[in-house]
């Protein structure tokens, strides 16, 4: 059973509203919104709800914190049609590893690049972006592409847009949709085995941005197959590496 954390108002009286935090920095039941907010603000996938009584709040927690589709629910992979979204964003990252064997260490002079492209409902390109560098892994470029796309959405200032992200990176998708990012945050950016999370600064930036958006969905596509959006960003980043 999660504990009740009592918080008094400035006047000394107990606030007669109960905020149940199922997923946050410290799950529990809080009696003031500011204290609840400290547990959930900026916490990716936070799950919380207010109730008029402690009993109702506890019952909700005991039942698994079901939000009935609330925007605070855990992100999921979807299989909807792109036409259902205001924007469809494809992101990709790549590294030309010249190590002596597949999966070998990236060398300092190995080329790497990222790219993203955003399509409107009318299948017109709204924006595309790409950049490159040396000595970065494929995974680092994948998460960089995702982060850059989020930063673009933030610049638009329209946080309620219905957006579908399409990626071929399980590394990025699993972190966002399987709760890895939340777990890393709780462990002070360490994995379950105690190892430091790689690309930590990038993931911290992602974790700060994601809670700002209310309507993001995610879909996986096989890389270098027949998905035209994925092929487009792959061409963008390879062109960038060719020109380095």
CA atoms within 13 A on the CB side of 132: 19
Q: What is the pLDDT of residue 64?
A: 67
How many beta carbons lie within 10 A of that of residue 102, not counting itself?
A: 6
Question: Taking 80 as the threshold, does the pLDDT of residue 15 lie above it?
Answer: no
Tens digit of each residue's pLDDT (9 = 90 or more) over 217-227: 999 988 777 88
pLDDT, average across residues 102-131: 87
For the sheet containing 216-220, what is the strand order? Answer: 125-134, 111-120, 87-95, 163-167, 216-220
Class of domain 82-242: alpha beta
pTM: 0.69
CATH topology for 4-62 is Ribonuclease HI; Chain A (3.40.970)
Interatomic CA distance for residues 51 and 233, integer angstroms:
46
The CA distances from residue 32 to 2, 3, 37, 105, in Å, are 17, 15, 9, 50
Q: Of 121-130, 140-149, 220-229, which range is least confident?
A: 220-229
Domain spans of the chain, in order of start: 4-62, 82-242
Interatomic CA distance for residues 213 and 135, integer angstroms:
32
Question: Taking 60 as the threshold, does the pLDDT of residue 186 lie above it?
Answer: yes
Question: Taking 80 as the threshold, does the pLDDT of residue 9 lie above it?
Answer: no
Q: What is the pLDDT of residue 223?
A: 78
Interatomic CA distance for residues 139 and 80, integer angstroms:
26
Which range has highest mean pLDDT (4-18, 27-41, 191-205)? 191-205
Tens digit of each residue's pLDDT (9 = 90 or more) over 82-94: 788 999 999 999 9
Q: Of 80-89, 100-109, 152-161, 220-229, which range is least confident?
A: 100-109
Q: What is the pLDDT of residue 106?
A: 82
Q: What is the pLDDT of residue 1?
A: 35
Q: Of how many residues is the chain composed?
A: 244
Give the residue, 123 or 104, on which the prediction is more confident.
123
Packed helices 200-209 and 138-156: angle between N→C axes, nearest 10 degrees: 30
Q: What is the pLDDT of residue 11?
A: 45
Q: Of 3-17, 28-42, 133-147, which range is least confident?
A: 3-17
Q: What is the pLDDT of residue 4?
A: 43
Average pLDDT, the chain: 82
For the sheet containing 28-30, what is the strand order? Answer: 4-5, 28-30, 18-23, 47-51
Question: Taking 60 as the threshold, does the pLDDT of residue 177 lie above it?
Answer: yes
CA atoms within 13 A on the CB side of 26: 9
* 1 contacts 58 by C-beta, under 8 angstroms: yes
Give the residue, 52 or 96, on which the prediction is more confident.
96
Q: What is the pLDDT of residue 103?
A: 54
Interatomic CA distance for residues 48 and 67, integer angstroms:
8
Give the residue, 38 or 68, on which the prediction is more confident.
38
Interatomic CA distance for residues 17 and 85, integer angstroms:
37
Q: Are strands 163-167 and 216-220 parallel, antiparallel or unpaired?
A: parallel
């Amino acid at each position: 059973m999660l504990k009740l954390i009592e918080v008094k108002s400035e006047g000394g009286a107990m606030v007669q509203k109960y905020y149940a935090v199922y997923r946050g920095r410290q799950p529990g039941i809080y009696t003031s919104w500011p204290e609840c907010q400290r547990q959930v603000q900026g916490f990716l996938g936070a799950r919380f709800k207010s109730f008029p009584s402690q009993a109702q709040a506890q019952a909700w927690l005991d039942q698994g914190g079901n939000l009935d589709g609330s925007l605070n629910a855990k992100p999921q992979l979807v299989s909807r049609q792109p036409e259902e979204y205001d924007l469809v964003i494809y992101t990709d990252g790549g590294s030309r590893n010249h190590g002596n064997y597949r999966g070998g260490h990236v060398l300092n002079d190995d080329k790497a690049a990222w790219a993203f492209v955003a399509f409107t409902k009318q299948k017109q390109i709204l924006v595309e972006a790409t950049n490159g560098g040396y000595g970065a892994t494929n995974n680092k470029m994948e998460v960089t592409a995702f982060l850059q796309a989020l930063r673009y959405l933030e610049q638009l200032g329209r946080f309620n847009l219905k957006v579908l992200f399409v990626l071929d990176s399980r590394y990025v998708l699993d972190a966002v949709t399987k709760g890895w990012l939340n777990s890393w945050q709780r462990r002070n950016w360490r994995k379950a085995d105690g190892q430091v999370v790689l690309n930590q600064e990038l993931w911290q930036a992602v974790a700060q941005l994601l809670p700002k958006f209310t309507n993001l969905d995610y879909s996986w596509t096989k890389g270098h197959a027949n998905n035209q959006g994925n092929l487009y960003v792959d061409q963008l980043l390879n062109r960038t590496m060719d020109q380095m």
